[in-house]
A and B are shown apart, each in its own frame.
Chain A
Amino acid sequence: MKEPIITIQNLSAAVEGRQILKGIDLTIFPGEMHAIMGPNGSGKSTLAAILAGREGYDITGGEVIYCGQDLLALDPEERACEGVFLAFQYPVEIPGVNSTYFLKTAYNEIRKHRGLPELDAMEFLTFVKEKVKLLDLPEDLLKRPVNYGFSGGEKKRNEIFQMAVLEPKFAILDETDSGLDIDALKIVAHGVNTLKRPDNAQLVITHYQRLLNFIVPDFVHVLYDGRIVKSGGKELALELEETGYDGMIHAAAVPA
Chain B
Amino acid sequence: MNNITATKPNGARAQRVTELNPIRTELALPERNANEPAWLLSARKAGFMCFDELGFPTLQSEDWRFTNVAPIAKMTLAPVSKPARHGVTEKALSQFPFTALAGGQLVFVNGQFAPELSSLAQLPEGVKVMNLAAALATEPALVEPHLCRHASTDTNAFTALNTAFFQDGAFVHVPAGQAVAEPIHLLFVSTAKDHGATAHPRNLIVAESDSRVTVIESYVSLCDTAYFTNSVTELVAADNAVVEHLKFQDENQQAFHIATVAAHGGRASNVVTHSIALGAKLSRTNIYATLAGEGLECILNGLYLTRGEQLADHYMIVDHAQPQGASHEYFNGILADKSKGVFHGRILVRPGAQKTDAKQTNKNLLLSDDATADTKPQLEIYADDVKCTHGATIGQLNDESIFYLRARAIPREKARRMLIHAFAGEIIDRVRCATVRQELDRLVWDRLEQNQQIAGNP
Q: Which A residues form the contact surface with B (CB < 8 A)?
A: 52-55, 75-77, 79-81, 85-86, 88, 91-92, 94-97, 102-103, 105-106, 109-110, 113, 145, 162, 166
Contacts and interface: CB of A to CB of B under 8 A. Distances in A.
B224 interface: no
Contacts of A97: 418-419, 422, 425
A109 B411 contact: yes
Given A95-B422, A96-B423, A96-B425, A105 B414 contact: yes
A80 B403 CA distance: 11
B425 A52 contact: no
A53 B381 CA distance: 51
B426 A106 contact: no
Interface in B403-418: 403-412, 414, 418
Contacts of A81: 409
Given A54-B403, A81-B409, A162-B408, 14 more contacts: A53-B407, A75-B406, A77-B410, A79-B407, A80-B406, A91-B404, A94-B422, A96-B426, A102-B405, A103-B408, A105-B414, A105-B418, A106-B409, A109-B409
Most chain A CB within 10 A, of B405, B421, B426, is at B405
A166 B408 contact: yes
Interface of B: 398-401, 403-412, 414, 418-419, 421-426, 429
Given A55-B403, A94-B401, A96-B421, A75 B409 contact: no
A149 to B, nearest CB: 13
B408 A106 contact: yes
B409 A113 contact: yes
A173 to B, nearest CB: 13
A70 B85 CA distance: 69
6 contacts: A54-B403, A76-B403, A79-B407, A96-B422, A96-B424, A96-B429
Contact of A105 (B399, B401, B410): B410
A77 B406 CA distance: 5
Pick from A55, A76, A95 the residue with the most CB of B within 10 Å: A76
A39 B399 CA distance: 27
Contacts of B418: 97, 102, 105
B404 A88 contact: yes
The 5 closest A-B pairs by CB, nearest first: A96-B422, A80-B409, A76-B406, A106-B408, A109-B409
Contacts of A85: 407
A23 B411 CA distance: 31
A95 B404 CA distance: 13
Contacts of A102: 405, 408, 418
Name which of B401, B412, B414 has the most chain A CB atoms within 10 A of its CB: B401
Contact of B426 (A76, A91, A95, A113): A95
Contacts of A54: 403
Contact of B400 (A86, A92, A106): A92
Residue of B405, B409, B411 most packed against chain A (CB within 10 A): B409
A88 B406 CA distance: 13
A256 to B, nearest CB: 36
Contacts of A145: 422
A138 to B, nearest CB: 21
A110 B409 contact: yes
B412 A77 contact: yes
Contacts of A96: 421-426, 429
A235 to B, nearest CB: 33
Nearest to B426: A96
A85 B429 CA distance: 31
Contacts of A113: 409
Contacts of A88: 404, 407
Given A77-B411, A77-B412, A97-B419, A53 B406 contact: yes
Contacts of A91: 404
Contacts of A79: 407
A162 to B, nearest CB: 7
A85 B406 CA distance: 11
Contacts of A92: 398, 400-401, 404
B419 A76 contact: no
Contact of B412 (A75, A94, A162): A75
Contacts of B405: 94, 102, 106
A95 B363 CA distance: 13
A109 B422 contact: no
Contacts of B398: 92
Nearest to B403: A54
Nearest to A101: B418
B411 to A, nearest CB: 5
Contacts of B399: 55
Contacts of A94: 401, 404-405, 419, 422
A95 B418 CA distance: 11
B404 A109 contact: no
Contacts of A166: 408-409
Contacts of B412: 75, 77
A130 to B, nearest CB: 19
B445 to A, nearest CB: 12
Nearest to B408: A106
Nearest to A56: B399
A92 B403 CA distance: 9
Contacts of A162: 408
Nearest to A162: B408
Contacts of A105: 410, 414, 418
A145 B404 CA distance: 14
A162 B408 CA distance: 9
A95 B421 CA distance: 11
